[in-house]
Amino acid sequence: MTLLEFIAADQNTLFSAALILMLMIAILEGITTIIGMGVSEMLEAVLPDFDFDFNTPDAPQSVLTKLLGWLNFGRVPLLIILVCFLSAFGLVGYSLQYLIVSTGLPLIPQLIMVPVAFIIAMPFVRLFTNILQNIMPRDETSALSEKSFIGAMATITLGKATKGSPAEAKVTDKHGQTHYFMVQPHSEDEQFEQGESVLLSEQLSNGFYAIKTTNPSLI
């Protein structure tokens, strides 16, 4: 089997798709950086809506919540986690299939190999996000604690926030550094839409409560 046949094999379709999508996101990020648009906003249209029940006082944790927390969601932007996952999943899948072929055995069907590659890729995603969150600009680089962000204005960057279902928001500190937090409203009948500016009002174990403000000078 030639390299081209190996890459184009039906058993490797999802691994190829993952790596191609990762490259497309990287190119899109570069283009949007040049033209000054947010790649997260552009991807919001194609990404599904998730309900994240994070570690809040009145919301029990689910398996998905624990997995997202384990992957550093809320400390690392979702876009970065997605790129890390696509890279790890594609490379792990190809590597496993290559090891199988090198022993003289046929390629493993996707129905079997995809779940295996997914499970093996998860620790690599956590490793990558751990490294990235340590090298990304953080509060410690400017001697700022998360509590100091109470009273700051944040912009919802991804998703829709409701009580018990936070969304990602970014805050720019006085040093010009951008910080990402999970925010949610106090009230169950209130919600924050993507692109909306809110005021951080109370710190949680994983993010902040926030309130809407109609003061144009704050926004």
Residues 168-178, mean pLDDT to the nearest whole number: 83
Interval 78-135: pLDDT, tens: 788 889 999 999 999 999 999 999 998 999 999 999 999 999 999 999 999 888 877 7
Interval 33-91: pLDDT, tens: 666 555 555 554 444 444 444 444 444 455 666 777 788 776 777 788 889 999 999 99
Among 202, 192, 188, residue whose Cα is nearest residue 167: 192
Amino acid identity for residue 70 in this structure: W
- Residue tagged 């902040």 (tokens): 208
Which pairing describes strands 197-204 and 167-172: parallel, antiparallel, or unpaired? Answer: unpaired
Whole-structure pTM value: 0.55
Looking at 36-165, list the stretches that DSSP marks H as alpha helix, in order from N- to C-terminal side: 39-44, 63-70, 78-102, 110-135
Least confident stretch, 38-47, 89-98, 149-158, 170-179: 38-47
Q: Torsion angle of alpha carbons 171, 213, 156, 219, nearest 10°? A: -60
Distance between CA atoms of residues 160 and 170, nearest Å: 14
Please, what are the domains in the chain?
Answer: 3-135 (no CATH), 140-212 (2.40.50.140)
Amino acid 14: pLDDT: 94
Angle of CA points 194, 25, 126, to nearest 5°? 85
